[in-house]
Amino acid sequence: MSGSIEAVVETLDPIAKRLLPPEIPKGTLVPLKTVLELREGLALCQVYVTRAPQKCTFGVFEVAKRIAGNDGARNLPHLRRCIKPADLPPHLKTAFVNEGNGRSIHMAKSQWLYIVLGPKTELPYEELEKALRAVDGIGEEVWLGEITVPLLAPSSQAQAHMWSHEFWQTIYRKSNPLGPHPSTVQRMETAVARDAAVWIALAQQTAKKAQKAGMGEPIGAVIIKRTIPRRSDSGKSNAAKQAGAKKGACTQKEADDDEGSDDWNADNSDGDGMTSFAELTNSMKQLDVSQSTTQPQSNLKAKSDSKETTQIVAIAGDARWHKHGCFGDTGNPMAHAALRAISMVAQKLVRSENRPESEEQIMEFECFQDKPLLNDEQLVFDIDHPSPDGYLCHDLELYLSHEPCTMCSMGILHSRMGRVVFGRRMPLTGGMTSEDRASGICGDSGICEGSCGGGQGLGLHYRKELNWTLLGWEWEADSPDSLPLDPHIHA
Ligand SMILES: [Zn+2]
């Protein structure tokens, strides 16, 4: 065991220490890519632009808003709405200066601005032109241009610079439209990397025990609760949102300003509403935890408050072959390791409410094999849930020996797990990764005669349309584990 891992193990509770294997191999966390990050090419759209004296900008905005609707006029928040002629990308400057009264506007030290009106699909040309003509002070000649712009926001400052040169002035709002924001991933990865090796090793040990006991395939799962002290950036981002919510007309000064002061739409959150709500309830919960656990040792308070802590909430091995009578050659899918672990968390939550557990056997065969079967499972099952006040697995962390199957991936997502780390990738059957499914990796197994595989990966760790996203990593071990599975198995 290396020094840093030994130090981590020292901070664990006695049960966790007792369960850990003697050897904890090292490895690296590799963030999972999202489906959008892997597949989305550069999506473009056509927008109308016009030019008007600075004093008319408000009138021009009103026209766009009236015709395209509030949403239509605001759905390109990554584009600077007004820019000076000098700030046009070179190819547009060359084109526009020669159109209409362009020369006089560009040459003079004019107070004219170029203004993005909105997507072409939202703005009927004739209606737009007519309405602009009526804007007070816009002059006799109304000019309308059509330009191509990126549909989605840039995911880095470098990309924003490139697009500003190629398309139109683009603002990087420190958000990633294609996945979790890199800084969010980085922040959590720093915390997770500290002890991921420990929990992966425990998941792998559980996998081996499950196989040895004859109850399932060598697949294991560990769920932990991580408490990170004093995470206060949620307040900051709320303040930024409020500041961004104010809207007003674009002025020459604003057109001169740097990134971040644009009035177009400043929704710079990098997640959905649920994420910020999650962060809020999470910080409230952490407050409860630190108050209840540090009271008896007030002399240690300062120290423990500033330290991150982790506690095991559930551990489970695969049990698909346990009393599997009616499930044929795939075994019992309800007894996959991830589902059993989540179900044990649920039982702990029920227990904490002091509700009598139902001992009644309703069916002859209980398909949810979610009572502890291994000694290790029982040990963890008997400890109470560290913070039994959130929704199921909200903000908990799941470690798996293998990439979970599609069914388990959806179960994990529905349980509102916060983070997931898995050991071996399952390129034919896994549901978490977004890469296209492998083909021709079955080797000589002969089960499928080489016909399986292919198709798109599901990337279920981060699909915003499913209303929940979690951060996911693959664990790249420094030395290979001894848990190969037949690639056709659904972990
Ligand atoms: Zn599964």
The CA 405 to ligand 1 mean position distance, Å, reads 4
| Residue with the larger pLDDT of the pair 390 and 254 | 390
The CA 166 to ligand 1 mean position distance, Å, reads 46
The CA 84 to ligand 1 mean position distance, Å, reads 57
Task: Supply the mean pLDDT for the chain.
Answer: 81
| Residue with the larger pLDDT of the pair 274 and 17 | 17
Q: How far is CA 52 from CA 48, 111, 127, 172, in A?
A: 13, 9, 17, 26
Strands (DSSP E) found in 163-228? 220-227
Number of domains in the chain: 2
The CA 31 to ligand 1 mean position distance, Å, reads 21
pLDDT score recorded for residue 238: 46
The CA 430 to ligand 1 mean position distance, Å, reads 8
Token pair listed for 471: 């951060």
Q: Is the CB of residue 412 less than 8 Å from the CB of residue 248?
A: no
The CA 361 to ligand 1 mean position distance, Å, reads 24
Top mean-pLDDT range of 110-124, 205-219, 447-461 = 205-219
CA distance 296 to 300: 9
CA distance 149 to 400: 42
Q: Is it the case that residue 365 has pLDDT exceeding 70?
A: no
The CA 410 to ligand 1 mean position distance, Å, reads 9
Do residues 28 and 140 both lie within one domain? Answer: no
**Which range marks the domain in which residue 413 is found?**
3-36+181-228+308-477
pLDDT score recorded for residue 465: 87
Q: How confident is the model at residue 279 (pLDDT cuts 50, 70, 90)?
A: very low
Burial 170-199 (b: 16+ CB within 10 A, else e): bbbbbbbbbbbbeebbeebbebbebbbbbb
The CA 278 to ligand 1 mean position distance, Å, reads 26
Do residues 68 and 83 both lie within one domain? Answer: yes
The enclosing H or E element of 144 equals strand 144-150
Residue 262 within a domain: no
Residue 8 within a domain: yes
Residue 249 within a domain: no
The CA 445 to ligand 1 mean position distance, Å, reads 21
The last residue of one of the domains, among 132, 159, 174, is: 174
The CA 74 to ligand 1 mean position distance, Å, reads 42
Residue 317 within a domain: yes
Q: How confident is the model at residue 229 (pLDDT cuts 50, 70, 90)?
A: confident
The CA 337 to ligand 1 mean position distance, Å, reads 7
Do residues 18 and 77 both lie within one domain? Answer: no
CA distance 222 to 23: 17
Q: Is it the case that residue 463 has pLDDT exceeding 70?
A: yes
Q: Give mean pLDDT, residues 33-58.
A: 88
pLDDT score recorded for residue 153: 84
The CA 408 to ligand 1 mean position distance, Å, reads 4
The CA 407 to ligand 1 mean position distance, Å, reads 6
CA distance 221 to 394: 17
The CA 491 to ligand 1 mean position distance, Å, reads 4
The CA 474 to ligand 1 mean position distance, Å, reads 17
The CA 402 to ligand 1 mean position distance, Å, reads 10
pLDDT score recorded for residue 397: 97
Question: Tens of pLDDT along 317-327?
Answer: 999 999 876 67
Question: Could you tell me what percent of the chain has a pLDDT over 70?
Answer: 77
DSSP 311-336: EEEEEEE--TTTT-TTSGGG--GGG-
Residue 254 within a domain: no
Token pair listed for 371: 């009572």
Q: How far is CA 12 from CA 221, 348, 455, in A?
A: 18, 20, 43
Do residues 211 and 360 both lie within one domain? Answer: yes
The CA 350 to ligand 1 mean position distance, Å, reads 24
Q: Give mean pLDDT, residues 257-267.
A: 36
The CA 489 to ligand 1 mean position distance, Å, reads 9
Token pair listed for 106: 């560009």
| Residue with the larger pLDDT of the pair 232 and 214 | 214
Q: Is it the case that residue 76 has pLDDT exceeding 70?
A: yes
pLDDT score recorded for residue 360: 58
The CA 142 to ligand 1 mean position distance, Å, reads 62
pTM for this entry: 0.68
Do residues 26 and 74 both lie within one domain? Answer: no
Closest residue by Cα to residue 339 from 389, 414, 423, 437: 414
Do residues 65 and 93 both lie within one domain? Answer: yes
CA distance 224 to 399: 8
CA distance 316 to 478: 24
The CA 316 to ligand 1 mean position distance, Å, reads 12
Do residues 378 and 328 both lie within one domain? Answer: yes
Do residues 395 and 449 both lie within one domain? Answer: yes
Q: What is the DSSP letter of 141?
A: -
Q: Is it the case that residue 241 has pLDDT exceeding 80?
A: no
Q: How confident is the model at residue 442 (pLDDT cuts 50, 70, 90)?
A: low
* 180-184, 199-203, 420-424, 472-476, range with the lowest pLDDT: 180-184
CA distance 157 to 150: 15
pLDDT score recorded for residue 134: 93
Q: What is the dihedral of CA 199, 200, 204, 210, to 10 degrees?
A: 50
The CA 333 to ligand 1 mean position distance, Å, reads 7
* Dihedral pair phi/psi, residue 362, rounded to 5°: -80, -40
pLDDT score recorded for residue 109: 67
Q: How confident is the model at residue 491 (pLDDT cuts 50, 70, 90)?
A: very high
The CA 415 to ligand 1 mean position distance, Å, reads 14
Question: Tens of pLDDT along 146-189?
Answer: 999 998 888 788 989 999 999 999 998 887 888 898 889 999 99
What residues sit around ligand 1, an ion, with C-beta below 5 angstroms?
336, 405, 408
Do residues 447 and 409 both lie within one domain? Answer: yes
Tell me, what CATH number does 312's domain have? 3.40.140.10
* 177-186, 218-227, 229-238, 474-483, range with the lowest pLDDT: 229-238
The CA 39 to ligand 1 mean position distance, Å, reads 25
The CA 406 to ligand 1 mean position distance, Å, reads 7
**Coil vs helix vs strand at 182:** helix
- Across-strand partners of 400? 221, 422
